Structure 1
């Protein structure tokens, strides 16, 4: 636990940045401000990839990026500094390291790394990778979006069913790809050169995408391909049905009350009185 005169300040900063108390106007305003900054920052970065926009407004985009990185850096530092008010991160060193390795904290770190790494290691050989990492700033919205929380909850609650479906689909994919390999390899040895190569055909066929770059030419292969394509419609509808069911259940849960945690989507009876306790519970559930 945090001791000393700084504890009230750390608690206030922790709750302010966490946004668990939706009735705290300052906390809500802070979260809205950071969310808007994320959207604007990613938007200007995307616009800057247009040649004429980059040529005419590149300097302004760069300055705005510096301002955003400064805000995100301050936010990250404050989160690491104040995380020790949480019992799970109470250790000044190990607790903070554990917090820094949490998913949201890693997203926050990756969002600012592209700005600082070129200063340390130089941009040569890593420029494109670092620019791609800038898009991690878009993932920061997940911390403030109830819609993202809803999606996360659905996948978490239906993870067992989805894993079973993925396992069944993987087994079926390997089976039909292997079968097609043995049927077509004599007619198209350069296309169906191995089972892994045939798996690409299996993925395209099962998903009913049908790129047409790899197709069977033998009568038996075409008959099998047509059958697999029809079966793929039903097979890939399974995860869609599971996710749709999860959304229905989650929305019904939210309609049972008026107040919800913006992070976990759970109905909270006393959210305003115990925002930190509920946030800790939600993070433990994750």
Structure 2
């Protein structure tokens, strides 16, 4: 796995402030990726994150935990100490450590090491079953990968830019679920499991997302027809958010490659089409092509 070396990924933490002297040099290694040391640090940290997640997953398997309990314990503490040192170094090399600690990545860094220390500080944790939940929070280390892989950043930007469209889409889906769920409540009734409108809405969500648990099923002919319509509708619904986000990602990729997209034009003099996007004159008659407004 290759860490991103783009200025975009490296310049993001600049809002925390770059100090001078040796702290500034440490900042360049930890937060930036435009140097050999920075790239090596990023790649090494990504490998450590993946290995630590693997240890957490394997430790949840009873057979492996029983046979290699000591090894799992040593590895977990080794990764915990490594990420603790990394977290402390990040706080040390920025001018505004509290601002970084309160940021998304700062919280993720803390959550990645805190559960192990909590399990050590709480004696008799076997009596507290909920302590296992805290230990499972170690999987939050996987979110640290988003700082080093550029595609995560692009996907996040596309989702943020599409949030209003997706919100409108979800509101339409919610209206469809409410209407169709209410209809099924009237058609099927409590005798077939549709005891309330919320229950019918739950069935509608399950049906439209094509999960189909089968705990509630229509029995009447009309109910089965409505369910069939909703299943087919679900196929189209699943494609809408994918198209929205894909279009946004394509537009942003075109922006990075050279700004707005310019579509091919048709010559007004001879009607010839198929000109290059940047062409100024017709390839057949030589007439000047009409100017176009860039479209994103």
TM-score, with length taken from structure 1: 0.76
Give 1:269's aligned residue: none
Give 1:169's aligned residue: 173
Q: Which moved more, 1:236-245 or 1:10-19?
A: 10-19
Cα displacement (A) at 1:179: 2.0
In structure 2, distance between residues paired with 1:130 and 1:29: 31
Higher relative contact order (CA 8 A, sep 6+): 1
Contact 1:187 / 1:218 at 8 angstroms: preserved in 2?
no
Q: Does 1:10 align with 2:23?
A: yes
Give 2:239's aligned residue: 237
5 Å-filtered alignment, 1:60-139, equals 60-84=71-95, 89=96, 96-122=97-123, 123=125, 124-139=128-143
In structure 2, distance between residues paired with 1:76 and 1:195: 49
Give 1:218's aligned residue: 220
Which structure has the larger Rg over C-alpha atoms? Answer: 2
- CA displacement, residues 217-268 of structure 1 (integer Å, 9 cap, x when unaligned): 12222222112222222222211111222332344345459xxxxxxxxxxx
- CA displacement, residues 92-126 of structure 1 (integer Å, 9 cap, x when unaligned): xxxx3332221111111111111111233343232
RMSD over aligned Cα, in angstroms?
A: 2.4
Going from structure 1 to structure 2, the CA distance change for 1:253 and 1:43 (only over 3 Å counts) comes to farther
Contact 1:100 / 1:106 at 8 angstroms: preserved in 2?
yes
5 Å-filtered alignment, 1:238-253, equals 238-253=240-255
In structure 2, distance between residues paired with 1:149 and 1:171: 32
Going from structure 1 to structure 2, the CA distance change for 1:13 and 1:167 (only over 3 Å counts) comes to farther
Moved over 3 A (4+): 250-257
Contact 1:42 / 1:135 at 8 angstroms: preserved in 2?
yes
- CA displacement, residues 130-160 of structure 1 (integer Å, 9 cap, x when unaligned): 2220111111111111222222122122222
SS of match in other structure, 1:54: helix
Give 1:48's aligned residue: 59
Q: Which runs of 5+ in 1 are unaligned?
A: 90-95, 258-286
Q: Does 1:146 align with 2:146?
A: no
Cα displacement (A) at 1:2: 10
Matched residues, number: 241
In structure 1, distance between residues paired with 2:149 and 2:101: 21
Going from structure 1 to structure 2, the CA distance change for 1:201 and 1:73 (only over 3 Å counts) comes to same
1:156 pairs with one of 151, 160, 163: 160
TM-score, with length taken from structure 2: 0.74
Q: Which runs of 5+ in 2 are unaligned?
A: 1-14, 260-296
